[in-house]
Every structure is written in C-alpha cells, then in structure tokens.
Amino acid sequence: MTLTQVAQHAGVSTSTASRYLRGQLNVQPETAARIDAAVAALDYRGATANRGVRTARPGAGPHARTDAGQGVVALVVPDFTNPFFTTLAEECADLAASRQIPLVVAVSGKHGERDGGLSPLIGGSDVLGGLIYLGMSRTDERLARAVEDGLPVVVIDEEIDLDLAVDTVTVDNYGGAYQATRYLIQQGHRRIAHVAGPPELSTTQERKRGYVDALTDAGLTVDPELVRHGPYTEQFGASTFPYLTRPGNAPTAVFVGSDIVAVGMLGAAELHGIRIPEDLSVVGCDGIRIGQWLRPQLTTLEQPVAALALAAVDALERAMARRGADAPDDVAEPARTVLPLHLVIRGSVAPPSAPPTPR
C-alpha cells in the first residue's frame, strides 16, 4: 500500500498524512484517528515507525518546539555578495536557533537562475516545515507550486506579482525614498539624481516613486536623464559617473537605491575627479555595516533588519501552526507587515558648493 492510498482512505492530503506519520504535524484528534485507522486497515508500514508523541519540552517558553519538531525551515536569499542579505540571514538564523527551529539557507541567484538545488528543496514538502522567501524574481513559479502544495510561506523584502495567499513583510520604500530626497532638498540641492535598481522590482519602483514625488512636491523638475537603472552591485555604482558628470547636466546630489551600489560610487568617485560630499552628496539605502567605515561615512536609509527577521519568523510560525492544526476553518487572511526605514545622517551629504564667481 502507498501513502497516497492511506491519505485517500483517511480523506486528507498526502502531505498531511506523511507529515503526521513522521511526527512533523499536529492534527485534530478526529483527523489523527482517521489516519491511524487507514494505516491499520491498509496495513501500511511506511513511516509509522518514526511517529512520536508531540509534547512540549519542560519549562519551554511560548516559542518552544515540540520533541518531534515541525520540519526544517528554509530561508531563500538571492546571494551573499550583498551584505544586506547576509545580515538578514544572520538575524533569521539567530532567531531560529533561539526557538529551536532547524533552519537551512538556499541561494536562488539574483534572477532565480540557480534552479538545481532550490527546486528539490522547496518542492519537497516532506522535508520542509516552512519557507521564508527573499527573492529578486517577482514571478518565481517554484514558489507558487510550493504554496499550492500547502507549504507555509512568508515573503520578505521584495513583493511578488503572483497572487498567493501568504504573509508578506516589507519596508516602507516609498516613504523612505521620499524622506531621503526631501533631506537632500532641504540641504539646498536642486539637481538630484537617482541611481536605482532593476526596474521590475517592487523596491525599485517604490523608491523611485518616493524620489519623484519628493521632487514634484518641492516644485522641482524630474529629469529622466538623471535616473539610472541597474543591478544592485558595486560595479554598477562605479559605472554611473560617465552619465552623471556630463557638462551642463551634472547633479549636485544623488539618492542611491542600495548601499552596495553607493559603495561602488564612493570607491570610483576620485577616479572621475569627484569629491564627496563637496561635489556630490550621496544618500544610500539599506544601512549595511560597511557604510560607517567608508570615508566619508555614508548617509543612508537604514533597514530595520532585526525587526524584519522577527516579523518574518513570527509570521512563519503562525502559518506553520495553522497548517499543523489541520483546520480549514482556522485559516486567517494573509497579513501584510510594513516597517519604516530610518534616515541615518553621516558625512556623505553637504549643501551644494557655490558656483565659482566670474572674474
């Protein structure tokens, strides 16, 4: 007899039967009785030997795990070259460890191209108890299939275009970008460039919208020539100066959609004869640690990384608990958590230099 036949006999999904029999899922007593009865009736001898009693550890707190656990949690990130993803992964790993949740990290690639290890991971509902997804692709069909298969999923940082009933945890990219651009305007800048990320990403779109609205509300013209799109890399940041230093078109300030891009700009500025902040003020976004060690130190919109990780892990635990209850009537509406960005003022911004006085 196969596990699928047991599930059909009990009137539950194959995933529910499998996880219950391996001690990875709490179900309602009547559901447990149906599965046990199906196992006995069909003489199924597959995973029943691994089934255990799910009891909480003595003295455990509100986030304590059961002895049998609820499966491994996976955190999917685009890469580890951007320190923002590394820091977020560290925060999630620390939280998972404190709550006795086994966690693994998968790297999807910036455009989801690393398919070899990711698809088997998120497609294996018998292995995973839940998934925290931080991707750079807004249409990852592997994620859609995982949700359809009943895997608890939380999407963090980047919003996705897929219509999925999952919790999301993001930041107020629009409000942060508006605040950063407004700060540059208050410092006296009138020609402000925006070095943005890939145009298809939600973070890019919201940060650009905040930049545009701040300029418009201040009565300033938005010059499309001062907006450059590219990947979130140091190389892209370093490559922007030929476009931003054209005679008669040079800005006095720039809002950069990612700190790692701003790092590239600060590193290449001297090669192009640009002094920061005397010739060009720079505001980044993310608040990565290296920004405070640059010279000058980078003014930036700081991401609430610890709060992002906490909200994501909390949301995933709630989703896993709902699934563990095996109660369709107990399914809550997906929650959308939006956290604020904080402007950290350092040395990379100054009022624009006065133009030279004609002799």
Per-domain residue ranges for the chain? 3-50, 72-170+305-339, 173-303
Q: Is the peptide bond before 296 cis (omega within 30 degrees of 0)?
A: yes
The hierarchical CATH code for the domain 3-50 is 1.10.260
The domain 173-303 is classified under which CATH number: 3.40.50.2300, 3.40.1800.10, 3.90.700.10, 3.40.190.10? Answer: 3.40.50.2300
Q: What is the pTM of this model?
A: 0.76
How far is residue 165's CA from residue 153's CA, in Å, rounded to a whole number? Answer: 9
pLDDT score of 36: 87
pLDDT score of 331: 52
Q: What is the pLDDT along the chain (359 residues), one digit of tens a residue?
A: 577 788 888 888 776 777 677 666 777 888 888 888 888 888 876 544 344 333 333 333 333 333 334 678 999 998 888 899 999 999 999 999 888 889 998 887 755 454 444 555 665 446 678 899 987 766 677 777 778 777 889 999 888 766 778 899 999 999 999 999 999 999 999 999 999 999 999 999 999 999 999 999 999 999 999 999 999 999 999 999 998 888 888 999 999 999 999 999 999 999 999 999 999 999 999 999 999 999 999 999 999 999 999 999 999 998 888 765 554 444 567 889 999 999 999 999 999 986 544 44
pLDDT score of 347: 97
Same fold across 3-50 and 173-303: no
pLDDT score of 321: 82
How far is residue 215's CA from residue 178's CA, in Å, rounded to a whole number? Answer: 9
Q: Which amino acid is at 197?
A: G
Does residue 54 contact residue 66 with C-beta atoms inside 8 Å?
Answer: yes
The DSSP string of 233-274 is SHHHHHTTHHHH--TTT--SEEEES-HHHHHHHHHHTGGGT-
pLDDT score of 113: 53
pLDDT score of 325: 55
Residue 320 corresponds to which tokens in the numbers above?
């896993």
pLDDT score of 139: 67
Does residue 283 contact residue 183 with C-beta atoms inside 8 Å?
Answer: yes
The DSSP string of 306-358 is HHHHHHHHHHHHHHHHHHHHT-GGGPPPPPEEEE--EEE--SS--PPPPPPPP
Of residues 60, 25, 28, 54, the one with CA closest to residue 152: 25
Sequence-separated (6 or more) residues with CB below 8 Å from residue 188:
351, 352
Q: Give 23's DSSP letter.
A: T
Rg, C-alpha atoms of the chain: 25
Does residue 294 contact residue 237 with C-beta atoms inside 8 Å?
Answer: no
* CA-to-CA dists, residue 111 to 79, 94, 134, angstroms: 10, 27, 12
Q: What is the dihedral of CA 288, 101, 131, 331, to 10 degrees?
A: -120
The hierarchical CATH code for the domain 72-170+305-339 is 3.40.50.2300
Starting from the edge strand earliest in sequence, which strands make up the sheet with 227-229, in order?
A: 227-229, 192-196, 253-256, 281-286, 299-302, 342-344
